[in-house]
Amino acid sequence: MDDIRLPYSPEALFARLDALGISHPTTRHPAAFTVEQGNRVWGDIPGMHCKNLFLKDAKGKLWLVVAPAERRIDLKRLPDVIGSARLSFGSAALLEEVLGIRPGSVTPFALVNDPGHRVRVVLDAGMMDEPLLNYHPLSNEATTTVTNADFRKFLKDCGHEVRIVRLPG
């Protein structure tokens, strides 16, 4: 996939998934910027719907935390669990610079736009027990469903170190 320019488009992401042999049924829908909006547009899409937090710690390290959509993440307790300094949300400019996406479209699929591995990835252990997972395909106007095994294959292909932990709620 060396001919792909960063940042990836949804179409380039789908081509990469195809090259990896990953099935990626995708449902188009109105833009969903929050879990509440997502709940209104996800309809009958099977599998676990997820939320994604792009965070920056007090030492400047970047984090992508991925959890079930309905899980409340306690940012005050999270640093002790993941080994970070105090956390806050990363800015829109930093999100676009590092992951090539805009706010509302945060997704682990955006790791394709981080070949320098600046972002540390933390996945909720309960989410990673689910057979089907749903994420935005670099745009919050669609939802892509992948199997758990294929999601793991995608993450391995991106080369990011991934930590699976029980996230505090």
pTM, full prediction: 0.93
- Residue range(s) defining the domain that contains residue 74: 10-165
Q: What is the mean pLDDT of residues 82-102?
A: 96
* Domain-embedded: residue 1: no
User: Which token pair is 80?
Assistant: 């002790």
* Contact predicate 71/102, CB 8 Å: no
CATH number of the domain where residue 61 is located: 3.90.960.10
* Domain-embedded: residue 25: yes
Taking only the tens place, the pLDDT of each residue in 140-166 is: 999 999 999 999 999 999 999 899 999
Q: What is the mean pLDDT of residues 36-51?
A: 91
**How many domains is the chain partitioned into structurally?**
1
| Residue 169 confidence (pLDDT) | 67
Give how far the C-alpha of residue 38 lies from the chain's centroid of Cα atoms, to the nearest Å.
Answer: 15
* Contact predicate 128/164, CB 8 Å: yes
Alpha carbon distance 33, 165 (integer Å): 25
**pLDDT of 2 above 50:** no
Alpha carbon distance 30, 60 (integer Å): 34
Distances from the Cα of 50 to the Cα of 5, 20, 26, 93, 125, angstroms: 27, 22, 15, 23, 12
Taking only the tens place, the pLDDT of each residue in 15-43 is: 999 999 999 999 999 888 888 888 888 88
Gyration radius (Cα) of the chain, Å: 15
Alpha carbon distance 120, 108 (integer Å): 11
